[in-house]
Amino acid sequence: MGRGCTLALVMKFVAATVFLRRAVLGLALVAAVPAVAQDATQFDTIARSPFVHCAFYKQYEIDPRTGDRLLVEGRSDSLTHYQRRGDNVRSIDTRRAGARNAQQVRGKKYLHYIERSGSMYVVTTIYACLERDAQGTCINYGAVNARHFDARVLRDPDAVYEALQASAEPGFCDHSFLNLQEASRTPPQ
């Protein structure tokens, strides 16, 4: 087994562990998509991360106790993994085979990952911080995934997101492996 294959298996295991570690009965979201965008600097950490993991749902479940809409972790309809190396971003999605090229675009209000598939665009938009750690760093983000043919997404992805957000699939994203060294590298002594 080669180093690349071993690293890929380790990454898959760690990614699954991250999702499971954060498993909760449900992630309650009061609204499908916020009407008002938050400050775009809140996306600095996830934009820097070499690995971003997202789960998307075709629809919300309803909490029988409160009536709130829920996205239940582990019951997503699709998973997407973005891997960034320098300026290059690759996307792996459970809806199709193989990795695809993607662009990370920072809008004025939101962070977007844009993939082209012929004349169609597959766009993940990260729109809000949902959960912070003890140090105040955002660790879980609200996101949507949309598939459309609106080429304006390359010029003004924020406007396209706001126009199409109601038809997008809701979900959430997290990041991992900030400042990670490969296990095969020995630390300087």
pLDDT 10s digits, 46-73 = 998 899 999 888 877 788 888 877 776 6
Q: Would residue 187 count as lying in a domain?
A: no
Q: Would residue 140 count as lying in a domain?
A: yes
Burial 114-147 (b: 16+ CB within 10 A, else e): bbeeeeebbbbbbbbbbeeeeeeebbbbbbbbbe
Q: Would residue 183 count as lying in a domain?
A: no
Q: Would residue 56 count as lying in a domain?
A: yes
By residue range, what is the domain housing residue 151? Answer: 3-176
pLDDT of residue 41: 72
Distance in angstroms between the alpha carbons of the first and the last residue of the chain: 29
Mean pLDDT of the chain: 76
pTM check: above 0.75: no
Q: Would residue 91 count as lying in a domain?
A: yes
Q: Is the dihedral of CA 34, 173, 77, 147 positive or negative?
A: positive
Q: What is the total count of domains within the chain?
A: 1
Q: Would residue 93 count as lying in a domain?
A: yes
Beta partners for 151? Answer: none
Q: Would residue 185 count as lying in a domain?
A: no
